[in-house]
Amino acid sequence: MITVPEGSTAWLTATFKNRQGANEMPASAEYRIDTAEGTEIRPWTAVPNLAEAVEIVLTPEDNQLLEFSRFQTNVVTVHATFGANDERNEPYFYKIRNLINIPKE
């Protein structure tokens, strides 16, 4: 699990695989971001520029702590559609680290 400093940009690479485990570009894909406790951070958003692997940018706004704690775990759920009755959901978990005690320069 990656750790992202609070309020920082991060990048997530999502890969799409078919039932044989080979890389395959989906017909469509979307993602959402939530805390591990289920609070929505970003609603369903279309993945632009589909490919077998795509980079999703997690913005500083996506990576804000919602409550005072040392860490917050977020989950990016990627939903891909390959064809009729051929869909897959894949969760990607990451941590946000609180920077309260680190001075900004």
Q: What is the pLDDT of residues 56-81, one digit of tens each?
A: 999 999 999 998 888 999 999 999 99
Confidence (pLDDT) at 103: 47
Mean pLDDT, rounded, for 36-62: 96
Percentage of residues in the chain having pLDDT higher than 70: 95
- Say whether pLDDT at 85 is over 60: yes
Residue 91 has pLDDT above 90, yes or no: yes
Q: What's the chain's average pLDDT?
A: 92
Q: Does the pLDDT of residue 101 top 70, yes or no? A: no
Q: In the chain, what percentage of residues exceed pLDDT 90?
A: 77
List, in order of start, the domains of the chain with CATH numbers.
Answer: 2-97 (2.60.40.1930)
Q: pTM of this prediction? A: 0.88
Q: Give the separation between CA 90 and CA 68, rounded to whole angstroms.
A: 28
Q: Do the Cβ atoms of 72 and 65 come closer than 8 Å?
A: yes
Biggest CA-to-CA distance, the chain: 52
